[in-house]
Amino acid sequence: MTSIGEPRLLNAPVFETNRVAIGLFRCPVEYPDFRDTGPIDRCIVVFPRTSVWIRHEGARPFLADPTIATIYNRAQRYERFPASREGDRCDWFAVSDGLAREIAAAADDRSIDSELPFHSPWAKSDGRLYLHQRALFRRARNGVVDALEAEEGVIGIVAAVLGATLDGRVSSHARRRSADVRRRELAEAAKLELERTVGENRSVHEIASSLGTSPFHLCRIFRACTGRTLNAYRSELRVRLALEMLEAPAVGALSRVAHTLGFASHSHFVQTMRRHWGTTPGAARALVS
């Protein structure tokens, strides 16, 4: 029995039909069963809002952060390990088993004769997809989405995520040919370091020193393993975390968000968000708040 004041797990749909569901998951680090909250009960793609280490049963752990989407089959067993003090906060989009197989088969022909529809544990999530899923989640949470819009939206989101795994699979094969486990671990450690210090304007030298490597080696390995530069990754992480802050009414002025996340100025914040998402912070706030 959960006692008064004990940290609680929240895993609940905000919209649901027979074919799709949209929901939220909130698990504080202090929750007694943080590491293992049980198997997944449906086919889902998940958009992290905080960083957390995820390890699917029988696989290596990876850092699930706001730049990727994680993917789970029904009954998938997995473990989580803390990376952010805020625990595991994410939003999820589920499809029925039949829909999962149909979408997966269109994206990856390995799924046609497979027992499981989904084959990759995660995929890259581009900025426009991230903003789109947050807007759909907000409409569903506020009760202003109908079944047609929701089902079409969820199917499109799941299809986009599964489509991105094809690029991930190719790059994964390339990485196995050109990099060993230690190099991939360095890239993951760098991602975590960038998330931990996202509001600081640290140099490559400072980041490399904190990881016990050289700036050149870090830049080369990070680009090879992630397909982007350290600066591009930090910039993408900042605008996604900005969306999280913009949703909170208490945050106030946009200039405060810009300062907290390390942007040089309010105009730099605006330019960066427009470059990544084709919109302004004010317009993004209107979508999610």
Q: What is the pLDDT of residue 175?
A: 46
Clarify whether residues 273 and 242 are in a common domain. Answer: yes
Residue 1 placed within a domain: no
Q: What is the pLDDT of residue 113?
A: 65
Clarify whether residues 253 and 173 are in a common domain. Answer: no
In the chain, how many domains are there? 3
Which CATH number characterizes residue 79's domain?
A: 2.60.120.10
Cβ–Cβ under 8 Å, residues 129 and 136: no
Which CATH number characterizes residue 288's domain?
A: 1.10.10.60
Sheet with 52-56, side-by-side order of all strands: 62-64, 52-56, 78-82
Clarify whether residues 144 and 105 are in a common domain. Answer: yes
Question: Which two structure tokens, joined as six digits, stand for 204?
Answer: 């490559």
Q: What is the pLDDT of residue 168?
A: 45
Clarify whether residues 110 and 16 are in a common domain. Answer: yes
Clarify whether residues 103 and 196 are in a common domain. Answer: no
Clarify whether residues 202 and 281 are in a common domain. Answer: no
Clarify whether residues 106 and 165 are in a common domain. Answer: yes
CA 41 to mean position of chain CA atoms: 20
Question: Which two structure tokens, joined as six digits, stand for 167?
Answer: 């690029």
Which CATH number characterizes residue 198's domain?
A: 1.10.10
Clarify whether residues 109 and 170 are in a common domain. Answer: yes
Q: What is the pLDDT of residue 231?
A: 87
Write out the H or E segment, with its range, that includes residue 274: helix 266-277
CA 114 to mean position of chain CA atoms: 26
Q: What is the pLDDT of residue 63?
A: 97
- Which pLDDT tens digits describe the chain residue by residue (289 residues)? 445 677 899 999 999 998 999 999 999 999 999 999 999 999 999 999 999 999 999 999 999 999 999 999 999 999 999 999 999 999 999 999 989 998 998 877 666 667 899 999 999 999 999 999 999 999 999 998 889 899 999 999 999 999 876 554 444 554 455 457 888 899 999 999 999 999 998 888 899 999 999 889 898 899 888 998 998 899 999 999 999 888 877 667 888 899 999 998 889 899 999 988 898 988 988 888 7
Q: What is the pLDDT of residue 1?
A: 45
Residue 268 placed within a domain: yes
Residue 3 placed within a domain: no
Q: What is the pLDDT of residue 233?
A: 93
Residue 200 placed within a domain: yes
End position of a domain, from candidates 227, 246, 262? 227
Clarify whether residues 220 and 136 are in a common domain. Answer: no
d(CA 288, CA 134): 7
End position of a domain, from candidates 144, 177, 210? 177
Tell me which residue range forms the domain holding 209: 179-227
Q: What is the pLDDT of residue 110?
A: 67
Clarify whether residues 123 and 190 are in a common domain. Answer: no
Clarify whether residues 45 and 164 are in a common domain. Answer: yes
Clarify whether residues 31 and 93 are in a common domain. Answer: yes
